[in-house]
Structure 1
Amino acid sequence: MNMIDFVKRPGLGRKGRVINVRANYIEISYLPYTNIYHYDVIITPEVPPSLNRRIYCELESLQADVFERSKPVFDGRRNIFTAIPLPFEAATFDITLSIDITPLGERPPCSFNIKVRKVAVINMEILHRFLEGKCSSSSMNILPGIMALNVLIHYKPSIMHVTHNDDEIIYAKYKRSFYTNQISQPLYGGAEVWQRYYQSIKPTSKKLMVNIEVSGTAFYENCSLIQMVVKLLVKRHPDDLRRGIPDRDRVKLERALKNIKIRVTHLGSASKRLFKIVKLTNTPASGTKLEIDGKCTDVASYFQVTYKKPLLYPFLPCVIVRKDTSIPLEGQRHFRKLNERQTADMFKLICPQPQVRANKILQGSEILNHQDNERLRRFGMHISDEMAVVVARILPAPRLQYHPSSRDASFVPKDGSWNMRDKKVATGATLGSWAVVSFGRYELEAVQNFIRELVNTCFDIGMNIPNKSPTIQQGNPMGNIEQILRQAWVKAGNMSKSPPQLIVCVLPNTGVPLYAEIKRVSDTVIGVATQCVQSKHVYQAKKQYCANVCLKMNVKLGGMNSFIEPSLVPFITKRPTMIMGADITHPAPGGDSSRPSIAALCASMDAKASRYATSIRIQGGMVLIIADLIGMVKELLKTFYQTCGRKPECILFYRDGISDSQFEQVIDFEVSAIKAACLALESNYKPTITYIVVQKRHHTRFFPMNKEDSDRTGNCLPGTVVESTITHPFEFDFYLTSHSSSVGTSRSTHYHVLYDENQFTSDSLQTLSYNLCYTFARSTRAVSIVTPVYYAHLACNRARFHFRGENWSDIDSETGGSVSTYGMVKPELQSVMYFI
């Protein structure tokens, strides 16, 4: 199948109320028609990009007669682009540059050889034809032309704005970003947030636009390590540590400091070498022994004798930076990205309300100052300084249905949310055999009161619980979790004379290890649904919290909470239809590449798209495609047939986790896999397929222009859809804001249709996608992405708990996973939504 040319936009939608919003895009008001010349650059010996730029700037200065007229732009690696051809096809230059010692502690060579060779001529006329929809994105010069223009707009910021401290670490991760050192905010624990601006050129209808976004990155403060220790341990002064650091605090400190890079200062300003902290010593500097020339001494005495510097804080431990090398805590600088907790605190500071974010974006445009950029003018390019005004529409919310006996059985939600008052779930499950395990020592009466309130709430929302007094037992959170859960399972079965359906677990904290082990055992060993609750809620037993728990319990037991009025989702109700959501979670960036990725596929099992079944696979780490998609689709097609008695005639496949550059790589394989799965079940079985990529990680933001078009936080109203001006020049894509946001600026979801045999119109697909966001079972709010993709994401996260290992997060595999390290979900749970 030839998948290079994706689905064309079938026309603009008309449904909903038309409004105007601002987008964080500025227009390239004049785009060059003349050719751009591409040169390959090889600098030897090889050095980091920041040093490459210094070398190139020196080359431009020394060879002004060669480069002055054309004013090239350099990407810091291998590419130079010019608007006027250089006076040679290939040339070699030698330059000498005075360079300080690098962060690695070595003095780099000062002499460099630079080879410049012409490799291509980019015909910008073809890029103009693409923007007008007259040629596809696979045409030559489209991507090279956009790449050249991206290098052009990033060249000046890369020269003027240095990144924070170790710029090579930052540049590697944020190639299209720059930092402003005037804009920073302090964080708890010796950290600070630096404001980061992102800019990238995007092709849109008949024009190119520059997408500008503002965010932040957190770092440790550039301060002495002793100051950092004081902040991490929440002390006022180093003297507060004179009695030493308790073992518990030392472990905490070691965890926080491990792998941080530090720069020693006891050797004077000439030393810029960096060391990485491995661990802390168990003894203070005055008690940490060294052997020098056969004589035993301690670190404090060694520094006194060797460097004539008595330690001010010999009572503190040393950092170990490599084998047999210990350095006192005093007088060192360090920096690195922050840990997870500090990053969470950072987001509280960098999630401004929409108007504040819009002002910061405009501030970023002023800092970029495209109008006063000589290189842009040399290329014949002009960029506006105003944010784009975009036409949008607000789609109507769907009508939701609950049980007919409810007072409020049918209603239209307002502003993307509602509550369970006067409502009973559409189909209430029956819970007759269950148990409660209290992990920790809590008052039995408090647990009984909570269970009583939970049962009453379940009854109020329409569930049937004949056994209102389940067995309650205590469990040691540090004990054998499998044994504890098995005991609870046996007691519940003996009490009700039937297989247990649910175990409610009271957790002492929000820590992951206990929760993960409970889910691993219940999902893959015992085969029973579990519902975890926090102990703090057990003592309060609020009605709203209990209602939220009941919604989860109902769907885990096979019930249905609500559904959309059938007439509003004709694509699903007119013919047997399966809606699928797929996602892959990969190992953390910078982690062990041998660790596998996890793929999850969730599919609807009824005509209301409210019940879902899952299929999970582990595969090679960082593999983009779903390797065993054929097997996963076959599993779910069989489950659909067993559940509904019919085969799906239509398949709507939403795929998360793919970037624009990966479309061609993934689409051909995965659509073919879906078709192959169908043919494997029956030789003439060919349901119509629509394949849509769902993207949440993008830099597009929208800002309402009128108060009546915004919610109480100033964000776009749920249902706001944008399909023109800043979307693809001619392919079928749109941005949909389906949720309301209580904090910061809401981020819409980008939907891009790559394959479509169901011949959706813009209105029909946008409306269906929006309506699906109201079917998320565990909340009474519309969610930000279509529900089947949300479920696939939850299933992926749950699957990571199913691995065995010394550490719950260790997922080691050389081949992409094996049954010895991964426990498959028990069959009795695969057809219900155990992952909710």
Structure 2
Amino acid sequence: MQEVLRFIWRVRLYEAFGLVSITSEDNRTIENKVLGRKILDKLYQTCSSELSGKKFAYDGEKSLYTVGALPKNKFEFMVVLEESYANCGSLANDGIHSESGKRSKKSSQEKSFKIEISYAAEIPLKSVCLAFQGLEPEKLQDALRVLDIILRQQAAQRHFYRGCLLVRQSFFHDDSRNFSDVGGGVTGCRGFYSSFSPTHGGLSLNMDVSYTVILTPGPVIDFLKSNQNARDARSIDWVKAKKLLKNLRIKTTHNNREFRINGMSEKPCHQQLFPLRVKKDNGTYDDQTINITVLDYFTKHLKIEITYSAYIPCIDVGKPKKPAYLPVELCSLISLQRYTKALSTLQRTSLIEKSRQKPKEKMQAITNAMKNYHYDDDPLLASCGISIEKQFAQVEGRVLESPKLKAGNGEEISPSNGRWSFKNKKLLNPTKIDLWAVVNFSAKCDASYISRELINCGMNKGIIINRPFSLMEEDSHNRKYGPVVRVEKMFDQLLAKLTRPPEFLLCILPEKKSCDLYGPWKKMCLSDHGIPTQCMCPLKITDQYLTNLLLKINSKLGGINSLLSTEQLSRMPLIQDTPTMIMGMDVSHGSPRLPDIPSIAAIVGSRSWPLISRYKACVRTQSSKVEMIQGLFEPQEDGTDNGMMSELLLEFYRTSNKQKPTQIIVFRDGVSESQFSQVLNYELDQMIKAYQLLGEGDAPKFTVIVAQKRHRTKLFQVKGLENVPSGTVVDNNVVHPRNYDFYMCTQPGMIGTSRPTHYHVLLDEIGFSPDALQDLILSLSYVSQRSSAATSIVAPVSYAHLAARQMGQFIKFDDFIEDGITAEGSTTVPKLPKLDEDVEDSMFFC
């Protein structure tokens, strides 16, 4: 069963699109979306007759849509709001005190706003119907956008007074039942995603449970203590606090007013002065002012008790030249404020754990949402001639048979629901480790015990591992240094003991891979010295943990853990007779916290044809937020090519009996439908040029497939008790009405609700039948050498993502941002360090 709800069309209508301008009494343009929605709600209440009673959809910015045309092409209205300006969504900047000494009054008087509406265009909703007939109408995306705006407006209006946060097509409501604490002053907030899409079965409403992270509502001081893990108010770093609190919204507890934080006072509450006009006995104010501390004002004039915040800075809610101070303990964070900083590892883990839902729970949540939102009651949807079936869309799916695997000693492995085990089995091609060492950065781990258990487990899997040459423990005095210095000192100790470079280094980290030591350690080993390395941070040493560790180690050292049975026997359809290279491509972008850091592009290509389990990776930096891969083809003045594509082609030629690939299958991750044409027109063109520059001959046949994981479609079994089994394919009813696409779920789905991968076939010059292509994609989900479970996306894409993430940590990009060297503001993008020649062709990313 598919998590999509179908629409029934009754009539075909046109949507009129208009431009909206809202200005205040002082001619300031209103940009606050919440305030804008309230103003237009008031407009409809007071001026509906002039608009012929037509309901409209407003996007919160400058666009307004009605079903059919309005009586005129241009309107001007004046709307008066009687509520306080702050509560209208544009938070007041006037504070409790100002430099003039006057106490600002609550702005509860009427405020006038000028609204201008002008006709812009006509958007035919008929284009959606044409899409179902296999056509590609010009304004299809515009029509779908209009319907999505109606959904957003309906969600916002239904919960307007309780509070609603809109994040693209997801909406979140101020309900404590949807909140879950993830630590550090951050709360996970559950909401719902809804969007319209044309499918083979008709127009569909796709709904899904959605999550975002918000600031934990409540006292500001509680948030700061939790965020900085501080014992009390005096332990807080107020320099960091000032940056964190900037522009956040608060409500005061003593008068229930809302403000936006502008900054913090330079002095603590008991020292911060401001000028106060003296009130005479007759109730008038003297022209002279006296300087008074914020503490004295609140305790003596307002009779409000101030305790701990007397000795810490005040919150400034005033204007830049007219500060207005509030003691911290009188301020509470308003709910539904998004937290945009990067989450820590513990926060991410906590959010993932608390957001997991079993299939039955997710189905029930979506069913309840459909009941609660009453889409059929929405007058705009009704006027569009739309009604909604309340049941999930029924689809037919197939479950492909899992491929067989070959292990050591000729043993065959039969995976069950996407999983298999190496228990009591040898690896297909185990390596031997003679000279190696263990470095231990963790004071909690026993390196000697770990090395003994690893040797014993390796023996059971066929890997002969000698005793480590050295067990290096970090000097406790070195822990006071930064991560780069700690790594350098550890390496100096290690090299002083070794007579020759080791074949392998095992690194025990004090935290998981995201700790600060991971990037410098990987760079030191792979780039500076060319030594394969494996990092670990064991919470509990088990046979399964050590087995997974050995799978990665064996792959990095050139061994093979398992192969597909058909791969080992060279019986891969359409591949065994024709030299074929399989590629995975991905681009990783910076976090919201550092939006200008370079993007990391990674591509991997298969080697040693006819195998499809061995890969080489190339990773480069490129301009920030650029999705198309820029380094595929880089011709030089001497006629050579320094691009990533040629590097992979040469490696394929070297390892495949001097044969060039005549077929190339490309899996591209991370692009949206609007970028599909760029993949074909730019990236494919660059790959063809790289191929042609290496020698004469026609370009190979290409099959280009986009693999999407970031979508909202889920597949459920009819009863919804368990996830769909590994190998489930859906290629009907809910796929695109015109394009060649399908959904495939390959992961075991042991935790939460599985998300299938959405595959879009953009080009197929090779000529795969649908069955052959789906079998190949399923097989490529079983060739990952780093685990004993099928990957949720084909292994080449998974490898590209891993390579980009690992090499991206070689450079601390924060330093470039602090120095003002950003990809956006500079024509030069900092380059990643090159891998040493001893490891550049290895599967270091496993």
Q: 2:128–2:198: 8 Å Cα contact kept in structure 1?
A: no
Q: Which amino acid aligns with 2:154?
A: K
Structure 1 pair 478–572 and aligned structure 2 pair: CA distance change class (3 A): farther
CA distance in 2, matches of 1:741, 1:514: 32
CA distance in 1, matches of 2:729, 2:599: 33
Post-superposition offset of 1:695: 0.8
Structure 1 pair 360–804 and aligned structure 2 pair: CA distance change class (3 A): closer
CA distance in 1, matches of 2:709, 2:161: 26
Structure 1 partner of 2:796: 788
Structure 2 partner of 1:469: 468
Structure 2 partner of 1:528: 531
**Larger displacement relative to structure 2 (72-81 or 512-521):** 72-81
3-state secondary structure, aligned to 1:684: coil
Q: 1:51-107 deviations in whole A, cap 9, x for unaligned?
A: 222222222233222324433322222323333321123333333334513225268
Structure 2 partner of 1:741: 749
Structure 2 partner of 1:699: 712
Post-superposition offset of 1:489: 5.7
CA distance in 1, matches of 2:755, 2:387: 29
Q: 2:315–2:328: 8 Å Cα contact kept in structure 1?
A: no
Post-superposition offset of 1:218: 3.5
Q: Which amino acid aligns with 1:764?
A: A
3-state secondary structure, aligned to 2:785: coil
Q: 2:526–2:532: 8 Å Cα contact kept in structure 1?
A: yes
3-state secondary structure, aligned to 2:733: coil
Post-superposition offset of 1:426: 1.7
Post-superposition offset of 1:529: 1.4
3-state secondary structure, aligned to 2:434: coil
Q: 1:72–1:82: 8 Å Cα contact kept in structure 2?
A: yes
Structure 1 pair 721–470 and aligned structure 2 pair: CA distance change class (3 A): same
Post-superposition offset of 1:141: 2.4
Structure 1 pair 349–31 and aligned structure 2 pair: CA distance change class (3 A): farther
**What pairs with 1:389-404 in structure 2 (closer than 5 Å)?**
389-403=394-408
Structure 2 partner of 1:623: 626
Post-superposition offset of 1:363: 0.7
**Larger displacement relative to structure 2 (59-68 or 782-791):** 59-68
CA distance in 1, matches of 2:754, 2:193: 18
CA distance in 1, matches of 2:357, 2:78: 49
Post-superposition offset of 1:305: 4.2
CA distance in 2, matches of 1:200, 1:613: 39
Q: 1:565-608 deviations in whole A, cap 9, x for unaligned?
A: 2266323323211111111111123x444321110111111222
Structure 2 partner of 1:651: 664
Post-superposition offset of 1:704: 0.6
CA distance in 2, matches of 1:182, 1:121: 42
Structure 2 partner of 1:596: 598
Structure 1 pair 751–488 and aligned structure 2 pair: CA distance change class (3 A): farther
Post-superposition offset of 1:622: 0.6
Structure 1 pair 246–142 and aligned structure 2 pair: CA distance change class (3 A): closer
Q: Which amino acid aligns with 2:120?
A: V
CA distance in 2, matches of 1:671, 1:55: 49
Structure 1 partner of 2:103: none
Structure 1 partner of 2:156: 158
CA distance in 2, matches of 1:274, 1:603: 52
CA distance in 1, matches of 2:617, 2:373: 47
3-state secondary structure, aligned to 1:390: coil
Q: 2:597–2:817: 8 Å Cα contact kept in structure 1?
A: no
Q: Which amino acid aligns with 1:529?
A: P
* Backbone CA RMSD of aligned residues: 3.3
CA distance in 2, matches of 1:319, 1:603: 58
3-state secondary structure, aligned to 1:702: coil
Structure 2 partner of 1:310: 305
Q: 2:254–2:330: 8 Å Cα contact kept in structure 1?
A: no
Post-superposition offset of 1:225: 2.5
> Does 2:252 match 1:265?
yes
Q: 1:203-248 deviations in whole A, cap 9, x for unaligned?
A: 011510100112233433432224546766999xxxxx7xx6674x
Structure 1 partner of 2:142: 144
Structure 2 partner of 1:96: 80
Q: Which amino acid aligns with 2:427?
A: V
> Does 2:823 match 1:814?
yes
Post-superposition offset of 1:699: 0.7
Q: 1:408-436 deviations in whole A, cap 9, x for unaligned?
A: x1122001111111222221223222222
**Larger displacement relative to structure 2 (51-60 or 226-235):** 226-235
Q: 1:437–1:488: 8 Å Cα contact kept in structure 2?
A: no
Post-superposition offset of 1:46: 3.3
Structure 1 pair 264–112 and aligned structure 2 pair: CA distance change class (3 A): closer
CA distance in 2, matches of 1:524, 1:104: 54
Q: Which amino acid aligns with 1:185?
A: F
Q: 2:127–2:143: 8 Å Cα contact kept in structure 1?
A: no
Post-superposition offset of 1:314: 4.9
Post-superposition offset of 1:513: 0.3
Post-superposition offset of 1:508: 2.2
Structure 1 partner of 2:377: 372
**Larger displacement relative to structure 2 (610-619 or 155-164):** 155-164
Structure 1 pair 113–259 and aligned structure 2 pair: CA distance change class (3 A): closer
Post-superposition offset of 1:291: 8.2
Structure 1 pair 821–679 and aligned structure 2 pair: CA distance change class (3 A): closer
> Does 2:700 match 1:687?
yes
> Does 2:175 match 1:181?
yes
Structure 1 pair 483–143 and aligned structure 2 pair: CA distance change class (3 A): closer
Post-superposition offset of 1:646: 1.4
Q: 2:128–2:203: 8 Å Cα contact kept in structure 1?
A: no
Q: Choose the corresponding residue for 2:56, options 68, 72, 78.
A: 72
Structure 2 partner of 1:562: 562
Q: Which amino acid aligns with 1:601?
A: I
> Does 2:30 match 1:46?
yes
- Mark the runs of 5 or more structure 1 residues left unpaired by the alignment: 1-21, 236-240, 708-712
**Larger displacement relative to structure 2 (556-565 or 181-190):** 181-190
CA distance in 2, matches of 1:193, 1:163: 21
Q: Choose the corresponding residue for 2:93, options 77, 88, 105.
A: 105
CA distance in 1, matches of 2:672, 2:67: 30
CA distance in 2, matches of 1:215, 1:772: 30
Structure 2 partner of 1:114: 115
CA distance in 2, matches of 1:347, 1:316: 39
Post-superposition offset of 1:747: 0.8
Structure 2 partner of 1:725: 733
**What pairs with 1:466-505 in structure 2 (closer than 5 Å)?**
467-475=466-474, 476-479=478-481, 480-487=485-492, 490=495, 494=499, 497=500, 499-505=501-507
Post-superposition offset of 1:761: 1.7
Q: 2:556–2:843: 8 Å Cα contact kept in structure 1?
A: yes
Structure 1 partner of 2:9: 30
Q: Which amino acid aligns with 1:526?
A: H
Structure 2 partner of 1:799: 807
**Larger displacement relative to structure 2 (410-419 or 140-149):** 140-149
TM-score normalized by the length of structure 1: 0.85
CA distance in 1, matches of 2:133, 2:521: 56
CA distance in 1, matches of 2:817, 2:538: 24
3-state secondary structure, aligned to 1:32: coil
Structure 2 partner of 1:761: 769
CA distance in 2, matches of 1:520, 1:766: 38
Structure 1 pair 523–298 and aligned structure 2 pair: CA distance change class (3 A): farther
Q: 2:584–2:796: 8 Å Cα contact kept in structure 1?
A: yes
Higher relative contact order (CA 8 A, sep 6+): 1
Structure 1 partner of 2:520: 517
Structure 2 partner of 1:584: 587
- Mark the runs of 5 or more structure 2 residues left unpaired by the alignment: 24-28, 95-106, 277-288, 634-642
Post-superposition offset of 1:724: 0.9
CA distance in 1, matches of 2:751, 2:32: 39
CA distance in 2, matches of 1:773, 1:605: 17
Q: 1:257–1:277: 8 Å Cα contact kept in structure 2?
A: no
CA distance in 2, matches of 1:376, 1:34: 11
Structure 1 pair 457–692 and aligned structure 2 pair: CA distance change class (3 A): same
Q: 1:624–1:666: 8 Å Cα contact kept in structure 2?
A: no
Structure 1 partner of 2:451: 451
CA distance in 2, matches of 1:658, 1:557: 33
Q: Choose the corresponding residue for 1:826, options 819, 826, 836.
A: 836
CA distance in 1, matches of 2:817, 2:439: 24
Structure 1 pair 535–565 and aligned structure 2 pair: CA distance change class (3 A): closer
Q: 1:35–1:124: 8 Å Cα contact kept in structure 2?
A: yes
Structure 1 partner of 2:193: 198
CA distance in 1, matches of 2:250, 2:758: 44
